[in-house]
Amino acid sequence: MDKQWYVVNTYSGHENKVKEKLEMRAESMDMQDYIFRVIVPEHKEVEENNGVKTEKVRKTFPGYILVEMVMSDEAWYVVRNTPGVTGFIGSSGKGAKPTPLQPYEIDKILNNMGMSRIDVDKELEKGTRVRIVSGPFAAMFGVIDEIDSATQKVVLLVDLFGQETSVEVELSEIEVAN
């Protein structure tokens, strides 16, 4: 089973509490191999009030959190029964498993937050073999030579016409090859 991103409905205003509780439950119930990242989608807004500019963090989707997980019965149960969770989006209810977000959907949300679908710290290192999923080098495989977390880009060594060549691609354009 692959890990995928799911949208979880929470009580509005309780997103951060639910994130905390879910992360604690995943650890205490030994579900770290099934529940990976929990994210509250947020963005910064600059407000001007009487000539004074203030920066505020606003929830992009109030009442929702994103969970990166492997959808197993146990993981579904842990998330679903976390206090503050009202359900999964994309599920018909009655115990039906939800539909995960498509890669392009989660990429757009995470890119707006300066993040990537790939957990750079845990999944990528120099020498990791990846597949390019979009852009001019789509469907090619490469090996990571450099990682730049700040710009969300990697330099890959790919085989172009029998020649090992360096190419720079966005993190959103790659996935770890199996």
Q: Would you tell me the crossing angle of helices 73-80 and 15-28 to the nearest 10 degrees?
A: 140
State whether residue 82 is helix, strand or coil: coil
**10 in Cβ contact with 65 (< 8 Å):** yes
- Model confidence over 64-78: pLDDT tens digits? 999 999 999 999 999
- Model confidence over 113-142: pLDDT tens digits? 877 777 666 777 888 899 888 888 888 999
Which two tokens mark 108? Answer: 């757009």
pLDDT at 7 (0 to 100)? 95
The proportion of the chain whose per-residue pLDDT surpasses 70, expressed as a percent, equals 97
pLDDT at 107 (0 to 100)? 83
Full set of structural domains in the chain with CATH: 4-115 (3.30.70.940), 122-176 (2.30.30.30)
Q: What dihedral do alpha carbons 99, 103, 105, 107 form, nearest 10°?
A: 140
| Residue 82 pLDDT > 70 | yes
Secondary element (H or E) of residue 175? strand 174-176
Residue 19 and residue 37: Cα distance in Å, rounded? 9
